[in-house]
Amino acid sequence: DAGVIQSPRHEVTEMGQEVTLRCKPISGHNSLFWYRQTMMRGLELLIYFNNNVPIDDSGMPEDRFSAKMPNASFSTLKIQPSEPRDSAVYFCASSFPPGTGELFFGEGSRLTVL
């Protein structure tokens, strides 16, 4: 398996633009997590899904952030409109079974909002 695949690896955009980050979890994993990493806050859990269903989105900072998982092999994290304070590395991770196993992280998407 190729592991968790994220795209894009790097994104530079201007304030106000829409940003879409994509994630393909490891096949067979039924839990998917979106994290944001900054120097100040460390690894923050934004939202997670079990069997494609959003379970807890309390970590999503604002309504500008939204996430979807239309099927077991694809998830998106969208920021609209983006702001400079959204600049961070966004990691997607998957695991199986939910809550009891190792988390496998993708390479991350480094977002810079100018």
Partner 1 sequence: GENVEQHPSTLSVQEGDSAVIKCTYSDSASNYFPWYKQELGKRPQLIIDIRSNVGEKKDQRIAVTLNKTAKHFSLHITETQPEDSAVYFCAALSGNTPLVFGKGTRLSVIA
CA distances from 94 to 38, 84, 101 (A): 20, 28, 10
Please tell me whether residue 90 binds partner 1 under the rule CB under 8 A: no
Please tell me whether residue 34 binds partner 1 under the rule CB under 8 A: no
What mask, x for binding partner 1 by CB under 8 A, covers residues 38 to 67? Answer: ----xx-x--x-------x-----------
Backbone angles phi, psi at 76, to 5 degrees: -130, 150
Residues 6 or more apart whose CB falls under 8 angstroms from that of 72 comprise 25, 30, 51, 52
Please tell me whether residue 96 binds partner 1 under the rule CB under 8 A: no
Which residues contribute to the site for partner 1 (CB under 8 A)? 33, 42-43, 45, 48, 56, 91, 98-100, 102-103, 105-108
